[in-house]
């Protein structure tokens, strides 16, 4: 379980959202790795 995130981008990806400037096709693979 992740207790905190370094930045808001990581937190948004963990929640399944694609933040501005982050490729939307990488959200699912990034979620699996988190």
Condensed to tens digits (0 to 9), the pLDDT of residues 1-34 reads: 778 888 888 898 888 888 888 888 888 898 888 7
pLDDT at 24: 84
pLDDT at 7: 87
Chain center to CA of 8 = 8
pLDDT at 23: 87
Q: Which tokens sit at 4?
A: 């905190």
Continuous H helices in the chain: 8-14, 27-33
pLDDT at 21: 86
CA–CA distance, 9 with 18 (Å, rounded to integer): 8
């Amino acid at each position: 379980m992740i207790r905190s995130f370094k930045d808001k981008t990581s937190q948004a990806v963990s929640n399944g959202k694609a933040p501005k400037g982050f490729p939307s096709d990488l959200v699912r693979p990034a979620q699996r790795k988190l």
